[in-house]
Amino acid sequence: MRHWGVRKSDKPLSAKQGAEVIIHRAARIEDAVHEFRQKRAQARGKIPTVIPYTGYGSTSWVRVLARVLLTTPPRPGSREHRIARTQHESVRGWRSFTSVPFGNASVTVEAGGRSHAVAADRGGVVDAVIEVALEPGWQTVTIGIEGGQTVEAPIFVLDPSSRFGVVSDIDDTVMVTALPRPLLAAWNTFVLDEHARVPTPGMAVLLERLTTENPSSPVVYLSTGAWNVAPTLSRFLSRNLYPAGPLLLTDWGPTHDRWFRSGREHKRENLRRLAREFPDVRWLLIGDDGQHDEEIYADFAIDYPDSIAAVAIRQLSNSEAVLAGGRSKDEVHTERTGATWVYAPDGAGLSTQLTEAGIL
């Protein structure tokens, strides 16, 4: 019997080569599972459904985000059909993880009077950049798929004159999830709906103030959360009066080059991408001190000093000792990166310090 990490000739592989073989096979196994579930779902009459997400772009291109799932079509006029229009009000997080992704599906994006054919990835996620001429502000594109309904996706188009933007983490930054406690974090993710999630005090007011004083500026929510929870997160943000903006999430499971996706690398890649896409925009980065936001933001500030307006870190503890530690970190990071760093346990404190620093 042939084992992972061993060639047919039984010559041993290096550690790196062995890891590549194992990881490649892990991805193939996941693809096989997806294919089996997909065929079974289609045999049971499920149809492709596009779940649109908020995208962003410039006046000459847009990044379209969506996910294609296989779902059971409700009968017209049935109770399920009526509920389908408002099912986003009651769907709990765990249901989104049991949906069947339609991998490699072909979808059509209509934007600016032109039609574009794009493909979903192996997990059903559509992440495509298309060339299109659109006016600055909120715009809409339509996404359709053969055998399914056409849906609309909002797109925020940056004004060419925009010079300021906000990138904010979600978990423990705008929403209290207590991620250091794994069991509670899992409960929040898989069981509770958006009604049971707690907004971080003052953060909605802070972000709203930032967008009011910079009306043409984007707010991007960058998180290591999975695309499965995007509808729940969007409802949470809207219900708690956070400014609308694109969610940049990731997917779980093996890839073709590693066992699991790296949340930190996901954040690093998207920050670098934003800096390349909008070189004239300086970003206010908002995160917390409970994960790796400080390290990620510091590295970005060093690599892209012209793309940083300031860094605001929410402290997970509001005790005097943590506040003192925050001031110490402030000095260390400011000296290392040359950027302005502020620390506070809530949005009100961050707003005050950003005002004193001349950011607000």
> Where are the chain's structural domains?
1-44, 47-157, 164-356
This prediction's pTM: 0.80
**185 against 15, higher pLDDT:** 185
In this structure, are residues 222 and 168 in contact, taking their beta carbons and an 8 Å threshold? yes
Any idea which residue has 């089996």 for tokens? 36
Q: Is the pLDDT of residue 296 over 80?
A: yes
At 22 the pLDDT is: 46
At 2 the pLDDT is: 35
At 55 the pLDDT is: 97
| Token pair belonging to 81 | 């059909």
Q: Is the pLDDT of residue 356 over 50?
A: yes
- Mean pLDDT calculated for residue range 265-284: 96
Residue 14 CA to residue 19 CA, distance in Å, equals 8
- Mean pLDDT calculated for residue range 269-297: 94
At 111 the pLDDT is: 95
Using N-to-C axis directions, what is the helix angle for 293-303 and 320-337, rounded to 10°? 20
SS (H, E, C) 203-221: HHHHHHHHHHHCCCCCEEE
Percent of the chain with pLDDT over 70: 67
Residue 285 CA to residue 221 CA, distance in Å, equals 10
Any idea which residue has 């991805």 for tokens? 27
At 202 the pLDDT is: 96
At 166 the pLDDT is: 98
In this structure, are residues 225 and 249 in contact, taking their beta carbons and an 8 Å threshold? yes
In this structure, of 36-50, 222-236, 303-317, 330-344, the range with the lowest mean pLDDT score is: 36-50
Banded pLDDT at 224 (limits 50, 70, 90): confident
Banded pLDDT at 327 (limits 50, 70, 90): very low
Over residues 171-184, the pLDDT tens digits come to 889 988 754 445 55
Query: How buried is 203 (Cβ within 10 angstroms: 0-12 exposed, 13-18 middle, 19+ buried)?
Result: buried
Highest CATH level, class, for 164-356:
alpha beta
CATH classification for the domain delimited by 47-157, as one of 3.30.420, 1.10.10, 2.60.40, 2.40.40: 2.60.40
Strand 308-314 relative to strand 282-288, pairing: parallel
In this structure, are residues 243 and 207 in contact, taking their beta carbons and an 8 Å threshold? yes
At 73 the pLDDT is: 72
Q: Is the pLDDT of residue 251 over 90?
A: no
Over residues 82-95, the pLDDT tens digits come to 544 444 433 445 55
